[in-house]
Amino acid sequence: MPAQVDGKSLEVQDTLAHRSGSLPIQVLLFTSLVSMLGNQLTGLAVPWFVLETTGSASKTGITAAVTVIPVIIATFFGGALVDRTGYRGLSVFSDLASAVTLAAVPLFYLTTGLSFPGLLVLMFLGAIFDAPGSTARQAMIPQLAQRSGIPLERINANFGMIAAVSSLFAAPLAALLIAWLGPINVLWFNAGTFVLSGLAVYGLIPVLELAEASGESFMTDVRIGLRYVADNHLIRTIILAALVINMLFAPLFGVAIPYFANQELQSVRALGIMLGGEGLGALTGSFLYGRLCGRFGRRTFLLAAMLLLTLPILPLALLPNQWLATGLLALIGLGSGLVNPMLGTFLQITTPAHLLGRVTGLIRAGAMVATPVGLLLGGTMIAVLNLPGSILLIGSVMAVVLLALWRNRSLYELDREIETE
């Protein structure tokens, strides 16, 4: 009888330990959602504030550019900063710095006044501080997963789901809040959410182990990260594929689909429905990846996701009706929802802990660079090839990427990782 009681006690202790270990993961998911929503709220509220206060479209565009360029720079170099400092501390600092720069906009505007150059400085600083924090949150995942006993795939699938939810609902939420509270009060609200996020990370996520310092200079650490990516065939393959995909999907969703809705369907409502279909597909894909990933090899999942990202593009070149186009975009979203959490998992299982921040930062920065380049090419493609020809070209290049990944033998290493886990 005592043995039975002891057994139950041990079971209860294991359950409590698991719940306690999973709490930091839940906090990290929550704060990441808050950060994603906050950044998207800022991306709409600040331009609206500029339009309301200046009435200048050119100043609005300059403000948007000032928030994009420093993010690319900070993400590229911030990975080395993440690897040299504490993950939790950098995440908290990033959230609080974002809160201060956001709150300073309405504070100065309502008191001493805020010049346009002053606004640009605040937006620049906010963007610089935010990028390393986002990388630091991603770098926490492997250690927190190990402590909680939750598979990396499940955690990354949940991150994919909150990214899809944020993408789906951030713009409508921002519009409602701006209409209800006005852009000034939305900025106050947004600053408060960043404070909440920083306090949650500080209070509920433990201090994590940090790799021993390299003893090298900061720029040497950056070069070490670049050299590791260049020398690792598997990670190099994944990063190059991600860059090409981002460069192709930027003109598809940023130029071709809006052009299709405007010129062929002549309906902004149709654009919203089609992009909503893609977002729901991404949410579904992330959910399915978390539930099915253990049943198939990672290489199989990657190729299946690439197939979903590629095949629906070709029928879009026929310029189908709104609902068929929505269904095709939902399939593309499904593939995106599968591949994005998978990419995070791949990097986490193949990258040494002391380089994870740098590798994560490099791939995020590369994606950010690829997106504006793709958008610039999109308009030229449509002008030269027309809309069907542009979509057909995008689909054809995606098919080449799919074929290259299928033939790439380094991807078999992903399944060998399963055998050794």
Q: Which residues of 159-192 are buried (b: 16+ CB within 10 A; e: fewer)?
A: bbbbbbbbbbebbebbeebbeeebbbebbeebbe
pTM for the structure as a whole = 0.76
For residues 259 and 317, is the Cβ–Cβ distance under 8 A? no
Instruction: Please tell me the predicted confidence (pLDDT) of residue 213.
Output: 64
Instruction: Please tell me the predicted confidence (pLDDT) of residue 335.
Output: 93
Instruction: Please tell me the predicted confidence (pLDDT) of residue 300.
Output: 86
Q: Which residues of 102-137 are buried (b: 16+ CB within 10 A; e: fewer)?
A: bbbbbbebeeeebeeeebbebbbbbbbbbbbbbbbb
Mean pLDDT by 10-residue block, N- to C-terminus, for the chain (421 residues)?
Answer: 41 43 87 82 78 76 72 79 81 90 90 86 84 84 86 87 83 77 85 91 83 72 85 84 88 86 82 86 90 80 91 92 93 91 80 82 78 78 89 94 91 65 47
Domains recognised in the chain with CATH numbers:
2-210 (1.20.1250.20), 222-416 (1.20.1250.20)
